Structure 1
Amino acid sequence: MLAAVLTAGRPSLEIQEVPDPTPGSHDLVLKVDACGICGSDLHLAQKYKTQYPGVVFGHEFCGEVVALGTEAEGYRVGDRVIGFPLAGCRQCAACLSGDVAKCATMTLNGIQRPGGYAEYVTVGAPEAFRMPETLTPEVGALVEPLAVALHALDRTPRAAGEPVLVLGAGPVGCAVALWARALGAGEVVVSDPMAGRRRLAESLGAATIDPLHEDVAEQFAKITGSAPRVVIECAGAPGLIQHAAEVADTDGHVTVVGVCLQPDTFTPALAVQKELSYQFVVYYRRRDFARTIAHVTAGRLSADRLVTDRVGLADLPQRFESLMKPNEDCKVLVRPHH
């Protein structure tokens, strides 16, 4: 099969012939319908490519079952599946509760196991979710980033109807904005320096702020009538943890979703003075996937608006490279068979 393989040069990805996957006893082999390009893949390719030679990225995928192991129960060839990319031991307390990210042996499609930037991918049957017939492959591939956003909001204490400030209008920031509105936030305000991303956030029903030309705290107060007590950082850029402390109200809460892969600093005295609480979050639980699938199936999340481009495998290396530069894309999907 064809797959986009991480290389040490430029472009970072190279389309290569690799062996077709064969299922283990509990596995499904999927013909990949769609796979999202995640910012974490871009960061890893920029910063840590020598640590992952030959890896096939892609952990936001869905597809059709084309082969299955002898003990892969509940599925048949032809079933459409959304992949839950985290796999653990399936026996510890974390796995049994659905919080697989906390399993000591957790592995991820796209890092420790081949991912969805390929014609085919393997996922464990216990890690699969059946995709409702009404969902398009594009929405199926958005379940993973939407589950990230839902998990972040679940870990964010807030009162009913309270306004929310989101820092960053990339895929996760826009997903948080979608979920915040669906879960009853009084007003969702998104801060991002890029005009195109602000326009996308506005199309999702959020108010926006340009942090390069506007005072974020002042503008938030003008829009909502109060200072930001709930701040969700979704960009992962250096300086944003400090920025969140600066704009948050006294007794406020900051949830850090963005993954910054370089050293960062902030002034603890400011957070201490305001008695801020910080919560760092990662991944999601199985119930976040299930709840996300239920919401998109019922039409309660306009998830397809997050998609700004689609590429086939042949065009993926150059498109992947372009996303490492400043851009106004939200979610770009890989369609390996299109």
Structure 2
Amino acid sequence: MKAAVLTDSTPSLEIRDIPDPAPGPGQVILEVEAAGICGSDLHLAPLLKSYPGIVFGHEFSGRVVARGNDVDPRLESKLAVGFPLVGCHDCVNCRSANPARCVSAELTGVQRPGAFAEFVAVDTQDLFVLPAEVGARSGALVEPLAVAHHALERTSREPGAPVLILGAGPVGLAVALYARLFGASEVLVSDPVPARRTLAEAVGARTVDPTAQDVGEAFAELTGSAPATVIECVGVPGLIQHAADVAAPDAQITIVGACTVPDTFTPTTAMAKELNFQFVLYYRPRDFEMTIAHLAAGRLDPAALITDVIGLDELPARFEALMRPTTECKVLVTPNRT
């Protein structure tokens, strides 16, 4: 099969022919119909160049084309998504449906071959069959939407309370979609990039340019008070301090953005306001289940997040371009598109 393989040079990805995956016991093979390019892929590529051969791609949907001998034949031809965090399925964390904390968890798209390829193997224990109402492209967005669902479920907030979101990237927009679904009276998204603010408005949020207006003042003008719920979705140094600066006393600040370098903030700001911080990571199977149910019922429409759809041969060049500042949101790869 063809796959986009990590290299130790530039460009980071190269299209190569590699062996087709074969289903083991309890596994199916999906013919990949859509796979999203995630910001974590872009961040990991330079860090993992000493491990060439990795096939990225952890946001994906595909159709079952092969199965292990012990797998239910009724799964054949089903459109499905894979839960990419593969735990041991036996430890206390896996048994409590929290594989992100399994000490032996592997991520499809890093430790396991991912979906930037024509086919990908998935354990049936990690397979979610999509209802007829959910297509392949929406299926590929289940993973980033599940991040948002998990973040909001971990965010203490009053019913109907307005929400401030810092960052209008894919995760910030997914959080905005879910915040509206969960009943936020107003959702204000702060982002300095005009194209990203336009996307935020397309999913029903109000927006503010933090380079032109004080974010706290903009929120107060819109809602009548400082934000009691702030969700940080950028992950760069300075954003935790910014969230603390604009938050109301006793506010809940949820950190979703994954900052991979040291960051500092002034604790007395948070102490003076007695702020509550919640850091979140990944998701649980329940977040996939609920996201799929909301998509099937038409309560979530993530189409605005998709800014382009490309073929596998286009991926190396586009992947390299996305490492630089861009107006793109979610680019989907269709490895089997003719």
- TM class by shorter chain equals over 0.9
Contact 2:162 2:223 in 1 (8 A): yes
Tell me the distance in 1 between the aligned counterparts of 2:51 and 2:265: 30
Whole-angstrom CA distance in 2 between matches of 1:327 and 1:103: 35
In 1, Cα distance between equivalents of 2:266 and 2:134: 46
Q: Which residue number in structure 2 is paired with residue 76 of structure 1?
A: 75
Q: Measure how far apart 1:49 and its partner are.
A: 2.4
What is the alpha-carbon distance in structure 2 between the residues aligned to residue 115 and residue 293 of structure 1? 21
**SS of residue paired to 2:332:** strand
1:120 and 1:152 map into 2 onto residues whose CA distance is: 30
Equivalent residue number for residue 251 of structure 1? 250
Which residue of 2 is the match for residue 271 of structure 1?
A: 270
Deviation of residue 118 (structure 1)? 0.5
**Cα distance in 2, alignment partners of residues 16 and 312 from structure 1:** 14
Residues 165-190 of structure 1 deviation map (CA, whole Å, 9 limit, x = unaligned): 00000000000000000000110000
Q: Assess if the C-alpha contact under 8 Å between 1:73 and 1:125 holds in 2.
A: no
- Residue 146 of structure 2 corresponds to 147
Query: Structure 1 residues 15, 293: closer, same or farther in 2, change over 3 A?
Result: same
Specify the alignment match of 1:67 in structure 2: 66
Shift in CA distance, 159/63, structure 1 to aligned 2, threshold 3 Å: same
Per-residue deviation, 1:51: 4.7
* Aligned amino acid, residue 230 of structure 2: V
Task: Tell me, in whole angstroms, the C-alpha distance in 2 between the residues paired with 1:269 and 1:50.
Answer: 40
Q: What amino acid does structure 2 have at the position aligned with 1:8?
A: D
Once the two structures are TM-superposed, the CA of residue 302 in structure 1 deviates from its matched residue by 1.1
Q: SS of the counterpart of 2:225?
A: coil
Q: How far apart, in 2, do the equivalents of 1:304 and 1:97 lie? A: 33
1:18 maps to what in 2?
Answer: 18
CA contact (8 A) 2:229 2:253 kept: yes
Give the unaligned 5+ runs of structure 1: none
Counterpart for residue 218 of structure 1 = 217
What's the TM-score once normalised by structure 1's chain length? 0.98
Deviating more after overlay: 170-179 vs 245-254: 245-254
Separation (CA, whole Å) in 1 of partners of 2:236 and 2:247: 17
The aligned amino acid for 2:109 is: G
Cα distance in 2 for partners of 1:273, 1:78 equals 58
1:228 and 1:330 mapped to 2: Cα distance? 26
1:164 aligned residue: 163
1:127 Cα shift? 0.1
Q: Secondary structure at the match of 1:315?
A: helix
For the structure 1 residues 280 and 74, does the alpha-carbon distance in structure 2 shift closer, same or farther, using more than 3 Å as the test? Answer: farther
Matched, 1:309 2:303: no
State the match for 1:105 in structure 2: 104
Partner secondary structure for residue 226 of structure 1: coil
Q: Which residue of 2 aligns with 1:94?
A: 93
Q: 1:260 to 1:5 in 2, by over 3 A?
A: same
User: Which amino acid counterpart does residue 106 of structure 1 have in structure 2?
Assistant: A
CA contact (8 A) 1:43 1:261 kept: no
Q: Distance in 1 between matches of 2:122 and 2:74?
A: 12
Whole-angstrom distance in 2 between the partners of 1:130 and 1:140 = 10
* CA deviation after TM superposition for structure 1 residue 98, in Å: 1.6
Instruction: Return closer, same or farther for 1:126/1:104 CA change in 2, 3 Å cut-off.
Output: same
- Give, as a single letter, the amino acid of the residue that structure 2 aligns with 1:37: I
Partner of 1:119: 118
How far does residue 136 in structure 1 lie from its aligned partner after superposition? 1.4
TM normalised by structure 2 equals: 0.98
Q: Which residue of 2 aligns with 1:182?
A: 181
Give how far 1:97 is off. 2.2
The amino acid across from 2:19 in the alignment is: P
**CA-atom RMSD, angstroms?**
1.1
Structure 2: distance between partners of 1:103 and 1:74: 30
* Whole-angstrom distance in 2 between the partners of 1:214 and 1:54: 46
Aligned-pair identity (%):
57
How much has 1:72 moved relative to structure 2?
Answer: 2.7
The one-character-per-residue Cα deviations of 1:133-157 (angstroms, maximum 9, x if unpaired) are 1211100000010000000000000
- How far has the Cα of 1:52 moved from its partner? 3.6
The answer for the alignment partner of 1:232 in structure 2 is 231
Report the Cα offset of residue 74 of structure 1.
Answer: 6.7
What's 2:39 paired with?
Answer: 39
Q: What do residues 48-68 of structure 1 show as CA deviations (whole Å, max 9, x unaligned)? A: 123542111110001011111
Alpha-carbon contact 2:8-2:50 (below 8 Å) kept = no
Q: Which residue of 1 aligns with 2:4?
A: 4
Equivalent residue of 1:50, what SS?
A: coil
